[in-house]
Amino acid sequence: MVYNIGVIGTGKMGKNHIRVIKGMADKFNLVGIYDINLENAKEASNLYDVKYFESLDDLLCKIDAVIVAIPSSFHKTMSIKCINAGINTFIEKPLALEVDDGEEIWNYAKDKDVTCMVGHIERYNPVTCELAKILISEEVLSFDIHRLSPFDKRIFDTDVALDLMIHDIDLLSAFIDEEIVDIKSAGISIYSDTYDYVQTLIKYKSEKLASLTASRITEDKKRTVEINTKGAYIVADYLNRTIHITRKTKFLLDVGYATKYRQENIREKVFVPMKEPLLAELEHFYDCIHNKKIPKTNIQNSLNVLKVCKQIVNSIGE
C-alpha cells in the first residue's frame, strides 16, 4: 500500500526528507510541502518538483502521514495538530525543547490510533545496526563518545546537548537498558547564549560508565564511539562508516629457531553495509504505519532521552 505523505518545513532537514521520499514511490506518495515561509516553500518546490501548499489545513486533509521538520520550539503545537487530525506523524528530533511539552505530545499521541515516531536518525545508521549485533555477545564496561562539529548558525533555539548530544543519549538508551544513578557535566558558551560545548559522565546502576563530548565549536567533524568490553576494544567511526575490534590473543608462532613471534592482540575490521540512514529510518516509519508496529524511536522513548538531556544541562555547574 502507498501512503500519501506531506513534509512540513523546508529547511536543511526538511529538504533531505523531500529528497529521500521522492525515491520511495512504492511506499509514499509525496502530496506536497508546507512552510510558513512561502519563499522557502517555493524554492523547495522548484528544486524537487513537488507541490507547495499555502494553507497547512489544505495539505493535512489530503495526507495519511506527515514529516514535521520545523524548528524545535514549534514541535509541540504542530505535532499535536497533526496527531489530532489522525495523521501518522514523524517528528524530527528533539521531540520538544522542554519535558512538559514532550509529555503533552505523548498524552495526545497515546490515545490516538496513529503511528508517532521521532527522528533519532543514528539509531537507523548501518554502523549502529552492526554495533548492536556485536554487543550481544560482549560484556560492556564503558562508552566514550565524541560528536564534534563546527558552529551552525541555523541552530538558534537549543543548546548543544539537545542539538547533538541527544543522538548519543538515544544510542546509549538502545545499548544500555539500565537506570542512570549519576550524571556529572561541564559546559561552555562561545557563539550563542547557551552551551556550545558539553562534556558529561554518566554512571549506570551496574557500574557501567559513559563519557560523552558534544561540540559545535570544533572546526572539524568527528563522530566516534569507543567501547571497552571485558574481551575487546571496539571503535566505530560514523563519518567513515567503519568498525574495528581489537581482541586479546595468545597466538605464538614457533619457526624452529630461538626467536619466536608473539602476537598480543588481533584486529578485526567489520563490514558495514552502505545504506543511507534517513532512507532506513523512513522505511521503518512506513513499516510501523503499514503493520501497526511501535517504532524503535517512539515518543515515550524520545521523552526519556529528552529527560536525560535536561539532567545533563541541569548538572552543569553543580
Same domain, 82 and 146: no
State residue 305's pLDDT score.
97
- Percent of the chain residues past pLDDT 90, beyond the cut: 86
Q: Looking at the domain assignment, is residue 182 inside a domain?
A: yes
Name the maximum alpha-carbon separation found in the chain.
84
Same domain, 136 and 256: yes
User: Exposed, middle or buried, 153 (CB in 10 Å: 0-12/13-18/19+)?
Assistant: exposed
Q: Looking at the domain assignment, is residue 34 inside a domain?
A: yes
Same domain, 133 and 264: yes
Write down the pTM of the prediction.
0.91
Asked whether the beta carbons of 76 and 68 are under 8 A apart, the reply is: no
Contacts of 117 (CB under 8 A, 6+ apart): 89, 90, 91, 284, 285, 288, 295, 297, 298, 299
Q: Looking at the domain assignment, is residue 146 inside a domain?
A: yes
How far apart are the C-alpha atoms of 29 and 24, rounded to whole Å? 8
Does the pLDDT value for residue 147 go beyond 80? yes
Q: How many domains is the chain built from?
A: 2
Contacts of 82 (CB under 8 A, 6+ apart): 8, 60, 66, 68, 89
Asked whether the beta carbons of 80 and 104 are under 8 A apart, the reply is: yes
Same domain, 114 and 179: no
**What are 40-51's pLDDT values in tens digits?**
999 999 999 999
What is the average pLDDT across 175-193? Answer: 93
Same domain, 105 and 138: no
Same domain, 110 and 231: no
Same domain, 89 and 129: no
Q: Looking at the domain assignment, is residue 176 inside a domain?
A: yes
Q: Tell me, what amino acid is at 255?
A: V
Same domain, 136 and 268: yes
Same domain, 265 and 172: yes
Same domain, 162 and 311: yes
State residue 116's pLDDT score.
97
**What are 109-137's pLDDT values in tens digits?**
988 999 999 999 999 999 999 999 999 99
Which CATH number characterizes residue 68's domain? 3.40.50.720
Which CATH number characterizes residue 181's domain? 3.30.360.10
Quick one: DSSP state of residue 70?
Answer: S
Same domain, 31 and 113: yes
Quick one: DSSP state of residue 233?
Answer: E
Same domain, 133 and 221: yes
pLDDT interval class at 256 (50, 70, 90): low
Q: Looking at the domain assignment, is residue 297 inside a domain?
A: no
How far apart are the C-alpha atoms of 268 and 225, rounded to whole Å? 16
What is the average pLDDT across 28-47? Answer: 97
Q: Looking at the domain assignment, is residue 300 inside a domain?
A: no
How far apart are the C-alpha atoms of 271 and 274, rounded to whole Å? 9
What is the average pLDDT across 141-145? Answer: 98
Q: Looking at the domain assignment, is residue 270 inside a domain?
A: yes
> How far are the Cα atoms of 30, 211, 227, 236 from residue 49, in angstroms, in the given order?
10, 44, 44, 38
Give the range of the structural domain holding residue 72, as residue numbers without chain letter. Answer: 3-120+279-287
Mean pLDDT, the chain, whole residue set: 93
How far apart are the C-alpha atoms of 167 and 213, rounded to whole Å? 12
Q: Looking at the domain assignment, is residue 296 inside a domain?
A: no
